[in-house]
Homo-oligomer: A and B are copies of this chain.
Amino acid sequence: MNLSVLKKKILIVVMDGLGDRGCKELDGLTPLQATKTPNLDWFTRNGIAGTCDTVDVGIRPGSDTSHLSILGYDPLEVYTGRGPFEAAGIGLIGKHGDVAFRCNFSTCDNDMNITDRRAGRVDKPDTTELVRSLEGMRIDGIEAIIKEGTEHRAALILRGGGLSPDVTDADSHDNGPIAWSKGRTPEAQFTADVLNKFVKETYKRLKDHPVNERRIAKGLPPANIILPRGAGSFPNIQSFPEKYDMKAACVAGVGMIKGICGVCGLDVIDLPGCCTGGYSSDFVSKAKAAMDTLKEYDFVLMNVKAPDVCGHDGDPKLKCDAIKRLDEMAGYFKNNFREDMVIVFTADHSTPCSLKDHSGDPVPITVYTPGNVRDDAVEFSESGCSHGRIGRIRGKYILPMCMDLADRAEKFGA
């Protein structure tokens, strides 16, 4: 290769749940087909386009499996469940071998009966203070690391030798006696025992905690026990920066997306308050944050959640409106484009308004970098992108394709 060719940077813009199906309310068009998107079309006209099955043909992806694909991992090989990503999403990023749990702060009476699974929806700063008293816990050689999330939610990581995710919940999902965890295999019983000891220890440390004394004085249920559920091991994957030799970051508002990126070894960038991860999030500010991040990093994955929210709400008109604003965001990228970057516009999955949930319909993809082959696709939509030369690909190929366009791919052969 010509050594004077500089390696380019890569920005993948994931417009969450963007793909759709024909909507009655839009005369049989999809929201993307029904909305004018001059900036996204500009990238499609000048770049290459195609249709992408993020996981595989006909598979309805979750946000976790689809983002793993987009980051170049095959979820059919590495996916181990949502638990680890949710833990990571609240900042508790584990490593292979760790077992992660989602937890609730709950209320327990003196007979170890659960009387409120959400401890009156206890929230920060109470939970933050309570968690502090649980620091440094070790049980039978296993480290227990806990972090509070929103409201009564928390995450737990068990770390040490001989752990297994094959255990039942220490949570009956109802009031009444505690459902102690059991190993589903003989090898997993050790993990179940550690988990049950952890639950008892949280009660011991929390029941007379000043925070709970204050709560009781106010007539609020004490958050005096922690109940873990949804065991999952951290996937055994090579870290992204190592795998692709790129300094990598994620610009996202939603916990689970941050969690996935965090588990893959990307730095999670703090965003201004206007980037909420919701419908009303400020896309242009987020785009600016992504471009700023790209100054320091080789690779940025940016996630915009709004179209998915509109799909789940079953609201095609709202989705059209979100798409209009996404196109303004694309305009920001067009006006602030770096010549040394490859930009990708795509979605993690379709969330058809008619279905109010994810579907396996493939999503549009457009890739642009100065000097790419210009193909015959001219419109960024489910149908328009299918005229492009990317053809129909699986999500796990997006990254290798970008690596090549960024002049970062290794030659295979001589």
A→B interface (CB under 8 Å): 1-2, 5, 20-24, 28-30, 33, 51, 55-66, 75, 79, 82, 85, 256, 314, 352, 354-362, 371-376, 382-383, 386-393, 397, 399-405, 407, 409-414
Q: Given A55-B412, A409-B58, does the pair A2, B357 have CB atoms closer than 8 Å?
A: yes
Contacts of A399 in B (CB 8 A): 58
Instruction: Choose one: B22, B82, B386; the contact of A414 (CB below 8 Å).
Output: B82
Contacts of A5 in B (CB 8 A): 354-356
Contact B58 A404 (CB under 8 A): yes
Contact B22 A371 (CB under 8 A): yes
Contact B59 A1 (CB under 8 A): no
Contact A82 B413 (CB under 8 A): yes
Known: A51-B391, A58-B403. 17 other contacts (CB 8 A): A5-B356, A21-B372, A22-B372, A28-B371, A28-B374, A33-B374, A58-B400, A60-B411, A60-B412, A62-B412, A64-B414, A256-B414, A362-B389, A374-B383, A376-B386, A386-B391, A392-B393
Contact B356 A371 (CB under 8 A): no
Contacts of A58 in B (CB 8 A): 397, 399-404, 409
Contact A65 B413 (CB under 8 A): yes
| A243 → B minimal CB distance (Å) | 13
C-alpha spacing A383/B388, complex, angstroms: 8
Contacts of A392 in B (CB 8 A): 389-393
C-alpha spacing A376/B356, complex, angstroms: 25
Q: Given A65-B413, A256-B414, A413-B79, does the pair A357, B404 have CB atoms closer than 8 Å?
A: no
| A9 → B minimal CB distance (Å) | 17
Copies of this chain, how many? 2
Contact A404 B360 (CB under 8 A): yes
Interface centre among A56, A64, A383 (most CB of B within 10 A): A383
Contact A2 B383 (CB under 8 A): no
Contact B412 A355 (CB under 8 A): no
A–B Cβ pairs within 8 angstroms, 25 of them: A1-B355, A2-B356, A5-B354, A22-B372, A22-B373, A33-B373, A57-B393, A58-B400, A60-B411, A61-B412, A61-B413, A65-B412, A82-B413, A358-B411, A360-B400, A361-B373, A373-B382, A373-B383, A374-B383, A375-B382, A376-B383, A376-B387, A382-B389, A386-B388, A392-B392
Q: Nearest 4 CB-CB pairs, A to B?
A: A62-B413, A58-B400, A391-B392, A65-B413
Contacts of A407 in B (CB 8 A): 355, 359
C-alpha spacing A393/B360, complex, angstroms: 15
Contacts of A354 in B (CB 8 A): 5, 371
Contacts of A386 in B (CB 8 A): 375-376, 388-389, 391
Contact B24 A371 (CB under 8 A): yes
Q: Given A75-B413, A386-B391, A392-B392, does the pair A356, B404 have CB atoms closer than 8 Å?
A: no
Instruction: Choose one: B60, B362, B372, B389; the contact of A409 (CB below 8 Å).
Output: B60
Q: Given A356-B2, A397-B58, does the pair A22, B374 have CB atoms closer than 8 Å?
A: yes
| A146 → B minimal CB distance (Å) | 21
Instruction: Choose one: B57, B361, B371; the contact of A21 (CB below 8 Å).
Output: B371
Contact B404 A359 (CB under 8 A): yes
Contact B389 A383 (CB under 8 A): yes
Contact B82 A30 (CB under 8 A): no
| A382 → B minimal CB distance (Å) | 5
Instruction: For A409, give the chain B residue with the smallest CB separation.
Output: B60
Contacts of A401 in B (CB 8 A): 57-58, 360
C-alpha spacing A273/B57, complex, angstroms: 39
Contact A59 B412 (CB under 8 A): yes
Contacts of A61 in B (CB 8 A): 411-413
| A345 → B minimal CB distance (Å) | 17
Instruction: For A413, give the chain B residue with the smallest CB separation.
Output: B62
| A376 → B minimal CB distance (Å) | 6
C-alpha spacing A373/B357, complex, angstroms: 16
Contact A355 B62 (CB under 8 A): no
